[in-house]
Amino acid sequence: MPVPIIIDCDPGHDDAIAIMLAAGDPSIDLLAITTVAGNQTVEKTTLNARRVCTVAGITGVPLAAGCTQPLVQPQLVADDVHGKSGLDGPQFAEPAVDVVPEHAVDLMYRILTRHPEPVTLVPTAPLTNVALLLTRYPDSAARIREIVLMGGSTERGNRTPAAEFNIYADPEAADIVFRSGVPITMCGLNVTHQALATPEVVARLEGLGTELGRTCAQLMTFYGSTYRRLWGFASPPLHDPVAVARVIDPAIVHCVDASVAVELHGHHTRGATVVDLHGYLGRPVNARVAVTLERELFWDRVIGAVDALGKRTT
């Protein structure tokens, strides 16, 4: 049976592929897409989500815009990584998909309370919307099967040496989520850096022979140029689809149980995820932490989903 999910995102090149994987893979029932301020302003991440749904032919999936800024600190964007639009590279047609007239948090709650079974949340962005959902609607927690998020790291960060962007952009929101008691799977940089969109991957996307395949190849080409310039990566890591892949088939992403705490007060470490992999501190386990990616299985699912969507739209 397909797993019902809501993806909460900030497109974002890797979010774009995560949306396509969620919409194109038969193991997922994509109930809604929600957007939040993160890689860019929520206006831009929402326009980008509309663009992705249009180019991928994703229709009939409610799309709602969410929080315009973090819970406490000023908004941070990642225009150095994703460009001024938040999805630089390809030229997109005028979006044919529009948003629904309700806030993302209200859409999430409406779906969670009406869906016949608990729903998996897949946040691939700062956790502002999810934290607000749990705070505004505490009864929503019982309707969440699990939260499978892209964020944090068992090792170094990327926005700072200590902190990964999604957590660093709204540490208070992340702290609320990790302390919520809802089952959490954390897909951090330590595992998403195993998902490198190499030239072979880009060639497979181009080789699909569809407009969507070409668009994805163009997204990876731009994204690769920024990762090369900023961090010296030969190929860019496709972070967000790893969280979706974990939902599709847990065998693709191996996890271990650990306690995870979010640093809120460190002068140099704010936004770090402190992952006690060996239980030194004796704190209760509050997360499954992803550690290994089955690369071939992962890319086969990603490219298979883009192929399935591309064949419907060409």
| Binding at 165: pick from Ca ion, ligand RIB, none (beta carbon under 5-8 Å per type) | ligand RIB
69 vs 169: CA distance, rounded Å: 9
Residue 158: which of ligand RIB, Ca ion, none does it interact with, CB under 5 to 8 A by kind? ligand RIB
10 three-class SS: coil
Binds Ca ion (CB under 5 A): choice among 4, 6, 15, 215: 15
Q: Burial code of 58-76, b = ≥16 C-beta within 10 A, e = fewer? A: beebbbbbbbebbbeeebb
Q: Is 239 designated active site?
A: yes
Polymer length in residues for the chain = 314
Our finding on whether 164 is near ligand RIB (CB under 6 A) is yes
Is 147 exposed, middle or buried, given 0-12, 13-18 or 19+ CB atoms closer than 10 A? buried
Binding partner of 222, given ligand RIB, Ca ion, none, CB within 5-8 angstroms per partner class: none
36 binds, among ligand RIB, Ca ion, none (CB under 5 to 8 A by kind): none
Among 239, 246, 288, 301, binds ligand RIB (CB under 6 A): 239
Cα distances (Å, whole numbers) of residue 85 to 12, 59, 92, 149, 242: 9, 23, 11, 24, 23
Site string for Ca ion, 125-154 (x = CB under 5 A): x-----------------------------
Among 3, 6, 7, 12, binds Ca ion (CB under 5 A): 12
Choice from 150, 174, 220, 258 touching ligand RIB (CB under 6 A): 150
Q: How far does Cα 27 stand from its chain's mean position? A: 17
169, 126 contact by CB (below 8 A): yes
User: Tokens for 80?
Assistant: 């150095």
Check binding of 170 to ligand RIB (CB under 6 A).
Answer: no
Euclidean distance between CA atoms 312 and 91, whole angstroms: 20
* Interface contacts to Ca ion, rule CB under 5 A: 10, 12, 15, 124-125, 240
* Interface contacts to ligand RIB, rule CB under 6 A: 10, 12, 14-15, 38-39, 78, 124-125, 150, 158, 164-166, 239-240
Active site residues: 239
